[in-house]
Amino acid sequence: MSEALAEQRHSPPPFEQPPLSEREFSAYQRLVYREAGIWLAPAKKALLVGRLSRRLRELGGLSFGAYLSRVGEDEAERVRMLDALCTHETHFFREPRHFQLLEQEVLPGWRAQGHTGGGEGRRVRVWSAGCSTGEEPFSLAMVLRHHLPANEGWEIDITATDLSTRILERARQATWPLDKAGEIPKNYLRAYMLKGTGSQEGRMKAGPELRALVRFQRVNLNEGHGVVGRFDLIFCRNVLIYFDAASKARAVERLLGHLSPQGLLFLGHSESLTGLGWRVRTVMPTVYAPRSSALEAAARG
Ligand SMILES: C[S@@+](CC[C@H](N)C(=O)[O-])C[C@H]1O[C@@H](n2cnc3c(N)ncnc32)[C@H](O)[C@@H]1O
């Protein structure tokens, strides 16, 4: 038998992606925007086809038109569709200058003064909004626990939220492939991560001390929030990049409403608020403090 024939016999039949008309694409654009604030530019048509085709096949080969009716009626399927469409890429200690700012300035300052300035003594509240598979909130947990020790009375409370229920389930497990260990500074890795054995060989898990600091919740940043109260630090990085100007403005307004007067808001590297007339001061590119904060007073000398 020739090699070409053998290959034909063993490879599965090619999957033909169902066609998506312009009218259907614009209906998906409107639906995704209304639900999640995410604007799918026309260039994203191929991405939508690629990311939804598998689900259409699982549902017995539905067309894009039939799937549109299905998600219109079935909320669970709508959540699933958004799961599939979102980009969840993330790393431990992504954008290291944000963590350097915490380690070198913010946390030593709080520790020296014995409080965060946010009015809750030694209790620190952090929100990782759009936390994906947990690398961001657990990076924060390591840095905060190291610099604000429990034996000095520091309480750390990290709320990690995402739109995607599937991704939150993974984040809750707090386990990752071992090849991600290289993203974590060695001292933190040794202190806070456990190496998997047996069925967990090749994986690592956050230790119980760290896991106790983080809780998870589904929150859609395009809607009213399910989170309550004010936070000393809000990380919302590489999420608003998918929003348009109007949905980004609404989400930032809500985030700022949850920031303590002395708090800091961290955005992703391409999500700057500069020049947009917000009531914020730029602490460093993509890190913002409310205008009236003590940090601003300190900066003025
Ligand atoms: C690219 S990941 C960023 C993860 C992490 N913040 C980081 O910077 O590494 C973006 C995350 O935002 C979530 N997301 C997208 N739209 C959202 C919305 N409307 N509300 C809440 N989360 C959303 C996605 O599910 C995804 O997990």
Residue 93: name the closest of 128, 133, 140, 162 by CA.
140
Q: Which atom of ligand 1 is nearest to the CA of 95?
A: 8
Residue 188 neighbours by CB under 8 Å, 6+ apart? 142, 143, 146
Q: Which residue in 207, 124, 136 sits closest to 168, CA to CA?
A: 136
CB 157 within 8 A of CB 199: no
Q: Which entry of 162, 230, 232, 237 is annotated as an active-site residue?
A: 162
The CA-CA-CA angle for residues 214, 218, 220, to 5°, reads 125
Q: Per the confidence metrics, is the pTM higher than 0.85?
A: yes
Domain ranges of the chain: 3-85, 96-300
Ligand 1, atom nearest to 222 Cα: 19
CA–CA distance, 64 with 60 (Å, rounded to integer): 12
For residue 88, the CA-to-ligand 1 centroid distance in Å is 6
Give 300 Cα–ligand 1 centroid separation in angstroms. 35
Q: Is 261 helix (H, G, I), strand (E, B) or coil?
A: strand
Query: Residues lining ligand 1, CB < 6 A?
Result: 36-38, 86-90, 94, 130, 132, 136, 162-164, 167, 220-222, 237-239, 242, 268
Please tell me the distance between residue 162's alpha carbon and the centre of ligand 1 in angstroms.
6
Tens-of-pLDDT digits for all 301 residues of the chain? 344 444 445 555 555 677 899 999 999 999 999 999 999 999 999 999 999 999 999 999 999 999 999 999 999 999 999 999 999 999 999 999 999 999 999 999 999 999 998 777 899 999 999 999 999 999 999 999 999 999 999 999 999 999 999 999 999 999 999 999 999 999 999 999 999 999 999 999 999 999 999 999 999 999 977 888 999 999 999 999 999 999 999 999 999 999 999 999 999 999 988 766 678 999 999 999 998 654 555 554 4
In CATH terms, 3-85 corresponds, of 3.40.640.10, 1.10.155.10, 2.60.40.10, 3.30.565.10, to: 1.10.155.10
List 51, 111, 170, 203, catalytic entry: 51
Distance of alpha carbon 232 from alpha carbon 115, whole angstroms = 11
Q: State the helix-helix crossing angle for 22-36 and 45-58, rounded to 10 degrees.
A: 90
Does the annotation count 51 as an active-site position? yes
Cα–Cα distance between 26 and 64 in angstroms, integer? 12
- Contact present, 162 and 226 (Cβ < 8 Å): no
Compute, in angstroms, the gap from residue 83 CA to the centroid of ligand 1: 10
Q: Between 3.40.228.10, 3.40.50.150, 3.30.540.10, 3.40.50.300, what CATH number should domain 96-300 receive? A: 3.40.50.150
